[in-house]
Amino acid sequence: MKSKTIRRWSFVHTWSSLVCTLFLLLLAITGLPLVFHHEMESLLGDTPHYRELPTGSPHLDLAQLVAAALAHRPGEVVQYFGWDDDQPEGMFAITAATAGTDPNSSHTFSLDTRTGEVVETPAANGGFMMVMLRLHVDMYAGLPGKLLMAFMGLLFVAAIVSGVVLYAPFMGRLKFASVRHGKSPRVRWLDLHNLIGIVTLTWALVVGVTGVVNACADLLIDVWRSDTLAALVAPYRDALPLTQLAPASRLLAIAEAAAPGMKADFVAFPGTRFSSEHHYAVFMKGATHLTSHLLTPVLIDASTLAVTAVGERPWYMNALGLSQPLHYGDYGGRPMQILWAMLDVLTIVVLISGLYLWWVRRKVKA
């Protein structure tokens, strides 16, 4: 490779890395506990615990659970109900002052689906894990913070690509995985930086690209709302505002009949971000580990309980659904979590060594 081209790629690699390094260190450090979020929540006592009842105890219907949620949070409305496959005896409820309240201002708690008893979940409303999540996602800056993180992710991808380009001629002079122990500390760290960087290459690209997609989630959801969802609810554009909701008792049975072979992941109540003013939206998921992250909305008229549409998933929502668990290593159980954590630690080493190499080189030039 010509020296002029090498200098250009070196410039791209150096400055794309330097600009995003501090943000990536924040993401890597906060990402470690998020990889083990189930285990961390259990360790911190944030996992809801439901009292033991005889096997086969009947479950309350959704209307009864709505009443239990509203009794716990009087003066509020239910925004969402959702389920966790790991705890079939419970569900989470999200309530707020209005249906359109921002999620960060809502209140989340758990309900025992057999008794309607409320179990508070501190991790969903604050605590260590929520702090880690907010720092990782938007640094408590909302959409601007997410877009900044998306930009840093793009710089990270540019640093990876330019690093690979620079690594090719470098390895033409050395054997793969060579670390020149007899040289200066700077040369040894350069060799380690290159070695760890190339070993973690594929993982870093996956995490970087999925991180950019996740950071753009709000924008993708807004596109889905203005495009797909708007088309599905177009017949209700001139409908009068609802004065009373039909009881939610049969929502799950209706949605399962409309989407055979699928089960409910969460319910969005009328007026929320994932529904319309006139619909319950039951988001159904597949039975396999992969399809469980691809959600299909079933729109149900909130006054008559008639199914008005079964939505198709646009490609960008599929990308978002697959990116979220892949970013945090949620696909392969404990072995994948451990692998993700190890690669995360190695990435921290790459970032810190890159800063060290830049600083030493700057001093040498001075």
Q: Which residues of 42-70 are buried (b: 16+ CB within 10 A; e: fewer)?
A: eeeebbbebeeeeeeeeebbbebbbebbe
Domain identity same for 316 and 214: no
Residue 174 vs residue 359, higher pLDDT: 359
Domain identity same for 128 and 147: no
Domain identity same for 187 and 158: yes
Alpha carbon distance 316, 220 (integer Å): 7
Domain identity same for 109 and 255: no
Alpha carbon distance 222, 352 (integer Å): 37
Domain identity same for 258 and 301: yes
Work out the pLDDT band at 365, boundaries 50, 70, 90: low
Tokens standing for residue 9? 């790629």
DSSP 52: -
Tokens standing for residue 196? 């760890």
Domain identity same for 234 and 343: yes
The boundaries of the domain holding residue 290 are: 244-327
Work out the pLDDT band at 366, boundaries 50, 70, 90: low
Q: Give bridge partners of residue 263 from the DSSP assignment.
A: 285
Residue 233 C-alpha from the chain's centroid: 27
Alpha carbon distance 318, 310 (integer Å): 16
Domain identity same for 235 and 339: yes
Domain identity same for 205 and 155: yes
Alpha carbon distance 103, 255 (integer Å): 25
The pTM score is 0.87
Alpha carbon distance 294, 262 (integer Å): 11
In a domain, 53, yes or no: no
Alpha helix ranges (H) inside the chain: 3-35, 37-43, 62-72, 122-125, 127-137, 142-171, 185-199, 201-215, 217-224, 230-232, 251-258, 315-328, 333-365
Tell me the pairing of strands 107-112 and 118-120: antiparallel
Domain identity same for 117 and 257: no
Domain identity same for 173 and 238: yes
Tokens standing for residue 170? 């470098």
Q: Give the H or E element holding residue 119.
A: strand 118-120
In a domain, 224, yes or no: yes
Domain identity same for 93 and 179: no
Weakest-pLDDT range from 13-17, 110-114, 317-321: 13-17
In this predicted model, what pLDDT tens digit does every residue of 153-172 receive, in sequence order?
999 999 988 888 877 676 66
3-state secondary structure of 339: helix
Longest pairwise C-alpha distance within the chain:
80
Residue 194 vs residue 225, higher pLDDT: 225
Is pLDDT of 1 > 60?
A: no
Domain identity same for 108 and 91: yes
Q: What is the pLDDT of residue 172?
A: 64
Using a 10 angstrom Cβ sphere, with 0-12 exposed, 13-18 middle and 19 or more buried, the burial of residue 41 is: buried
Q: What is the pLDDT of residue 174?
A: 65
- What CATH number should be reported for the domain holding residue 300? 3.10.450
Domain stop point among 134, 152, 175: 134
Residue 173 vs residue 271, higher pLDDT: 271
Q: What is the pLDDT of residue 121?
A: 83
Residue 38 C-alpha from the chain's centroid: 14
In this predicted model, what pLDDT tens digit does every residue of 304-340 receive, in sequence order?
999 999 988 899 999 999 898 888 887 767 888 888 9
Q: What is the pLDDT of residue 329?
A: 80
The 3-class secondary structure across 224-241, one letter per residue, is HHHHHHHHHCHHHCCCCC
In a domain, 26, yes or no: yes
Count of the separate structural domains present in the chain: 3
